[in-house]
A = this chain, B = another copy of it.
């Protein structure tokens, strides 16, 4: 065993509003060697996701909350240092729930091997990782997007939103993004090929939707909730599908979540609003990854990562998501 210490971030307190430094304990522990069926992984990149904010709250959800004093849950990509499971060997690259720490000793069955010759490692946390899977199954299965339809996606400058718009184009849909600020907006149209984007920070969202979706919205893929969801509901086309993937505008609320006041548009338009959790599609991740890797190779699907550096900056790096400071998939580089 390598006699090194393992820096970790543990949840110290349940945050009220935006997580503060004092909600975390930065600690060190000895690296623990794997038992049978376990693998020791050196964490290289951690995935920073809006969903992590939800895992910090108490109460019933689609997954158990992180306990106070536990290492914060996070997805990551890393290199196997030692394996006590026949499925993995030293030197393999793997993704899985590794936690906010430098070394993860985890059950082998929770890991998936990745091939760094297919794409750079952070891409396996982005387009070929959970955000990509979320976009793929959310748009194609839950949203049931069909060629010729108009797809609107909020959080278009984020990891999921960017992928949704590109997949919509691949499917033959019109893709309209909603994002905040000129940099993100320019990126999704100029680099990623969205048909249009509405900068909700500087333009009137309703006017933008009227201009860019003259026949209404067929699929609205919602990552943000709040006012944006409510405005989009007023522009649904008949039989529209609203995919509820997240609600980043509401995760740090200290007041109750804002409900969509225009939900009766679902009735008027015989539309549906459906929630999704990507884990439900786990048995088909492989199919999606192969198809999306193919599109990447053909140049139809681009990946974009925002790499924050320095393990010790984790608490501040996470906040970039809620401040809208990341362009694309936010990852924290932990080691080379």
A151 at the interface (CB under 8 A from B): no
CB A99 to nearest CB in B, in angstroms, measures: 22
Query: A261 touching B266 by the CB < 8 A rule?
Result: no
A274 at the interface (CB under 8 A from B): yes
Interface string of A262-275 (1 = CB under 8 A from B): 11111111111111
Q: Which of B60, B247, B268, B275 contacts A62 (CB 8 A)?
A: B268
Complex Cα spacing A148 to B121, Å:
47
Number of A residues, CB within 8 Å of B: 33
A61 at the interface (CB under 8 A from B): yes
A275-B272 contact given A262-B257, A266-B244, CB 8 Å threshold: yes
A245 at the interface (CB under 8 A from B): yes
A273-B270 contact given A257-B261, A261-B256, A262-B259, CB 8 Å threshold: no
Contacts of A256 in B (CB 8 A): 261
A246 at the interface (CB under 8 A from B): yes
Query: A267 touching B245 by the CB < 8 A rule?
Result: yes
Complex Cα spacing A268 to B60, Å:
9
Contacts of A225 in B (CB 8 A): 264
Query: A271 touching B275 by the CB < 8 A rule?
Result: yes
- A242-261, CB < 8 A from B: 244-247, 250, 256-261
Query: A274 touching B266 by the CB < 8 A rule?
Result: yes
Contacts of A250 in B (CB 8 A): 264
The 8 A-B residue pairs whose C-beta atoms are closest, nearest first, are: A259-B259, A267-B275, A266-B275, A272-B274, A259-B261, A259-B260, A273-B273, A62-B268
* A residues neighboring B (CB under 8 Å): 60-62, 225, 230, 244-247, 250, 256-277, 280
Given A230-B259, A256-B261, 8 additional A-B pairs, CB 8 A? A62-B269, A62-B270, A245-B267, A263-B263, A266-B275, A267-B276, A267-B277, A270-B274
